[in-house]
Structure 1
Amino acid sequence: MSYWRGWRYTALITSIVGVIGITIYPIAIYPMQHIEEYKAIQKENRRNVIQSEIQPGNMKVWSDPFDRK
């Protein structure tokens, strides 16, 4: 059984980290860097929604998740 050493080991680890980074970027990093774009999309999607009609009884009506308290 041979062990991975030198540049092959480095290439393996770099490839694994790269694939994880490429996978995570569009899910987590891009939306956090482009908040205004996602706010506009959210505003467009919720334009004709009347919150009180779709919210079950005695539950808080959803609000802007990007709004600071």
Structure 2
Amino acid sequence: MAFYRGWRYTAFITGFVGFIGLALYPIAISPMIDSSDYKKIQKETRKNINKDAIQPGNMKVWSDPFDRTKEDVK
């Protein structure tokens, strides 16, 4: 078994880390940077879903609990 030494070891490690980075970019990094494509897909696939009809236990559809009205902010 050959062991890498010197610049070959550095090139091997750099190549290995670079390969992992290239493999993870379209899976993990790209969606975090630009999520507009996924938002469009989600809007298209959920357009015929009535949120009130599928909400369990007659609970109201989720709303932002931190949403403040102008009267609340003083």
Q: Same fold (TM over 0.5)?
A: yes
Q: Which moved more, 1:32-41 or 1:8-17?
A: 32-41
**What are the residue-to-residue correspondences of 1:28-47 with 2, within 5 Å?**
28-47=28-47
Report the residue type matching 1:49 in the other structure.
I
Q: Name stretches of at least 5 consecutive residues in structure 2 with no aligned partner.
A: 68-74
| Cα distance between partner residues in 2 of 1:61 and 1:11 | 54
Q: Deviations over 1:11-45 (max 9, x none)?
A: 11011101110111011111111122221111111
Distance 1:43 1:7, change over 3 A: same
Q: Which moved more, 1:48-57 or 1:13-22?
A: 48-57
Percentage of identical aligned residues: 61
Q: Name stretches of at least 5 consecutive residues in structure 1 with no aligned partner.
A: 64-68
Is the CA contact 2:51–2:61 (under 8 Å) kept in the aligned structure 1?
yes
Larger Rg: 2
Per the alignment, residue 10 of structure 1 pairs with 10
TM (norm. structure 2) is: 0.62
Per-residue deviation, 1:4: 1.4
Look up the SS of the partner of 2:21 in the other structure: helix
Q: Which moved more, 1:53-62 or 1:3-12?
A: 53-62
Query: More relative contact order in 1 or in 2 (CA 8 Å, sep 6+)?
Result: 1
